[in-house]
Amino acid sequence: MVSTSYEIVKRAIEFGSPERVPMRSHSHKEEGQQVLGFSDTFDIHSLDTDTVGWEVGTEGKDEWGSVWKQPKYKNIINIGQVMVNPLSDWEKMETYVFPDPSDKSRYKGIERSLRKASDKYVLIYKHFLLFERMWFLRG
C-alpha cells in the first residue's frame, strides 16, 4: 500500500515503520529533485512565519533589516548569506526597531498555505532563533 506524504511523516515520528524516510528541503521542489536525484515529492510543507518580506533562497532584506544575497553555486542548494548586518555598529542600536511579534500580517496567507499543503505534513516554525539572529544582526 502506498502511503500519503502525511502518513509517511506521521509514521516516522511515531516510529511506525514508514515505507521510506520522509523528505523536507528549503529548496524549490524542482531544484531539490535535480540535486538529490529524488523523483518523489517532498513530504513536509514548511510554513515559516518569521521572515515577513523575505523567502529562504532569495535575495533581499528580511523584517529584521538583514540583507541576504544568494551565492551562485552549481548544483548546491543553499539559503543564502547575510551580507549586510543592520547592527554592525553598536550606535545603530539606539534607533533600531525590532519586528513586532504580534503583527497580524505575519500570519497572512496561512489558511491559503495550509490548503496548498494538500496531503503534506505541515511544519510551522520560526526560522533562525536567537543565536543565528544575533550574528545576522551584528555580524
Domain span holding position 23: 5-138
Neighbours of 89 (CB within 10 A): 10
5-63, pLDDT tens digit by residue?
888 889 999 999 998 888 776 555 565 566 565 555 566 666 655 555 666 667 888 88
Query: Could you tell me which residues are beta bridge partners of residue 69?
Result: 81
- What is the pLDDT, as a whole number, of residue 40? 55
Report how many domains make up the chain: 1
Say whether pTM exceeds 0.75.
Answer: no
**Chain mean pLDDT for the chain:** 78
